[in-house]
Amino acid sequence: MGAHDLDDFRSGVAGWLSANKQHAPRDYGAICPPDLITEGVAWQKRIFDAGYAGLHWPLEHGGRGLTPAHHGVWVEECAKAAVPPVLNMVGLVLAGGAVMAFGTDEHKRTHLRATLAAEHVWCQLFSEPGAGSDLGSLSTRAERDGDRFIVNGQKVWCSGGRCSNWGILMARTNPDAPKHEGISFFLCPMDLPGIEVRPLRQMTGEAEFDEVFFTDVELPADSLIGPIHGGWGVGMAVLTNERGHIGASIIGLERRIEQMAALGRGRGLDTTQRQHLAGLVSRGIAYKAVAQTQGPVASTASSLMKLGITEMMFDIAMLRGDISGAEAMLEGADATGMLAAPGGRIAGGSSQVQRNIIGERLLGLPREPK
């Protein structure tokens, strides 16, 4: 596939988005919030009908059979148009990736096309009260009982749980195995008896996340994906895709750099504030340069990008609050930004976890003791 072909494809994508973006919800990022789920599902269906969903997925599973580079173009053009590229990253990236790589033929027939067409909407059932960034400490149990697993436990920080009809679940199937070896990976229908979903209210006043309780839930044995007790490998394989496409990161960074530069215009900033703002702009330019040196899909370097960008966004929110003064503590975008900013340092792997990954895999430092 030559650059000319990709240029033609990009032109077609840009034209379609220009003609259809009025039907899109606001650009919510990776996962559609509950208050936009109706618009998000309709947008995903429109994308699927136009042939832009699952561009690099096989034709037999509803995709276009194109390359990851085509998908990258789609994500980049959506970022430019300020529209979401997918309904839900959990479904299109994590669940879809797991089924594609580890699922049976029946799993693929059941889930892949339905996910692209927004008939199956997915949530992620990984984190627990005692196992967030340290996912290997999860304690939700799935005990084999004939042709089923009996699941008991609790999951938290589940994005869109109340709006989903399927979930990807990691649960412990061998409590006597070492920390990472007794975990299995399941595709879980969210309407099974014994599953209770409760919204989690954030300090911003929103409820974008849920907690999910499993009480003697009977999960069919064919819900298992990958080998029994081998779910850690499945989970880590799909999580490498979670942070998305570098091209979209570059576009997002460009916007943030512009926003930071605009922050100082027309305001009487003191010397300290000007120096802080200049430092943030410089960091943004440096992160953009790092992103442009990477391949089309982030790998270990995505930890560097994730750490740098989320820490930068936290500092931006704090600086905006400092510039706005007392008003930033009351209401409006600055107040919401300050309250929401710490979450970015936690979601998708905390900043501490990213530092461990960078130290071990990029710098060659000794691994953290297990």
Residues with catalytic roles: 242
Residues in the chain: 370
Closest to 312 (Cα-Cα) out of 348, 357, 358, 281:
281
Residue 262, Cβ density class (10 Å: 0-12 exposed, 13-18 middle, ≥19 buried): exposed
Q: By 3-state DSSP, what share of the chain in percent is helix, strand and coil, each rounded to 5? A: 50, 15, 30
34 HSE (CA, 13 A, CB side): 16
| Segment holding 230, helix H or strand E | none
Half-sphere exposure in the Cβ direction for 28 (13 Å, CA): 20
CA angle at residue 284 from 278 to 288, to 5 degrees? Answer: 145
Separation of alpha carbons 270 and 319, rounded Å: 12
